[in-house]
Amino acid sequence: MKYIADSWDVAVIGAGHAGIEAGLAAARLGCRTAVFTINLDAVGNCPCNPSIGGTAKGHLVREIDALGGEMGRAADAATIQSRMLNLGKGPAVHSLRAQIDRREYAKIMKHTLERQENLSLKQAEIVSLERGEEGWLLTTRMEAVHTAKAVVLATGTFLAGRIYVGDVSYESGPDGLFPAAFLSESLRSLGLSLRRFKTGTPARVLRSSIEFTGLEVQQGDEPPEPFSYETEPGTVRNRTVCHVSWTNAETKRVILENIHRSPLYGGKIEGVGPRYCPSIEDKVVRFADKERHQLFIEPCGLGTEEMYLQGMSSSLPEDVQIAFYHTILGLEHVEIMRSAYAIEYDCVDPQQLDASLAFRDLPGLYGAGQFNGSSGYEEAAAQGLVAGINAARFAQGMEPFELDRASSYIGTLIDDLVTKGVSDPYRMMTSRSEYRLILRQDNADERLTPKGRELGLISDARWERFLEKEEQKRLERNRAERTVLPPSEEVNAALAACGSSPLTTGARLSELLRRPELSYARLKNVDPTRPDLPRAVFENVEIELKYEGYIKRQQADVAEMRRLEAKKLPPDADYQSIQGLRMEAREKLAKVRPSSVGQASRISGVSPADISVLLIWLAQRGGEGEDAQ
Residues 65 and 103 sit within 8 Å (Cβ to Cβ): no
Same-domain status, 439 and 496: no
Residues 485-540 have pLDDT tens digits of: 999 999 999 999 999 999 999 999 999 999 999 999 999 999 999 999 999 999 99
Last residue of a domain, one of 397, 420, 455: 455
CATH code at 240? 2.40.30.260
Same-domain status, 211 and 236: yes
Q: Rounded CA gap, 60 and 65, in Å?
A: 9
On the question of pLDDT at 414 being above 70, the answer is: yes
Helix H, strand E, coil C: the string for 112-154 is HHHHCCCEEEEECCEEEEEEECCEEEEEECCCEEEEEEEEEEC
Burial 448-465 (b: 16+ CB within 10 A, else e): bbbbbbebebbeeebeeb
* Rounded-to-10 torsion of CA 569, 572, 578, 582: 80
**3-13 vs 33-37, strand pairing mode:** parallel
pLDDT at residue number 276: 67
Residues 89-127 have pLDDT tens digits of: 999 999 999 999 999 999 999 999 999 999 999 999 999
Q: Rounded CA gap, 512 and 374, in Å?
A: 43
Same-domain status, 37 and 186: yes
Query: Considering only 60-69, 265-274, 342-351, 561-570, which range has the smallest mean pLDDT?
Result: 265-274
Note whether residue 175 is domain-resident: no
Note whether residue 511 is domain-resident: yes
Mean pLDDT computed over 216-236 = 95
pLDDT at residue number 417: 97
Residues 16-56 have pLDDT tens digits of: 999 999 999 999 999 999 999 999 999 999 999 999 999 99
Dihedral pair phi/psi, residue 554, rounded to 5°: -70, -35
Enclosing domain of residue 572:
566-620
Residues 183 and 429 sit within 8 Å (Cβ to Cβ): no
Note whether residue 465 is domain-resident: no
Dihedral pair phi/psi, residue 473, rounded to 5°: -65, -45
Under the banding of pLDDT at 50, 70 and 90, the label for residue 418 is: very high
Residues 263-310 have pLDDT tens digits of: 877 777 777 767 767 899 999 998 989 999 999 999 999 999 999 999
Number of domains composing the chain: 4
As a whole number of Å, the end-to-end CA separation of the chain is 46
Q: What is the mean pLDDT of the chain?
A: 95
pLDDT at residue number 627: 43
Query: Can you say how many angstroms the Cα of residue 277 is from the centroid of all Cα atoms in its chain?
Result: 14
Last residue of a domain, one of 550, 583, 602: 550
Note whether residue 375 is domain-resident: yes
Same-domain status, 195 and 328: no
Same-domain status, 262 and 395: no
Question: Quick one: which of 335, 296, 337, 313 has its CA closest to 262?
Answer: 313
Residues 358-397 have pLDDT tens digits of: 999 999 999 999 999 999 999 999 999 999 999 999 999 9
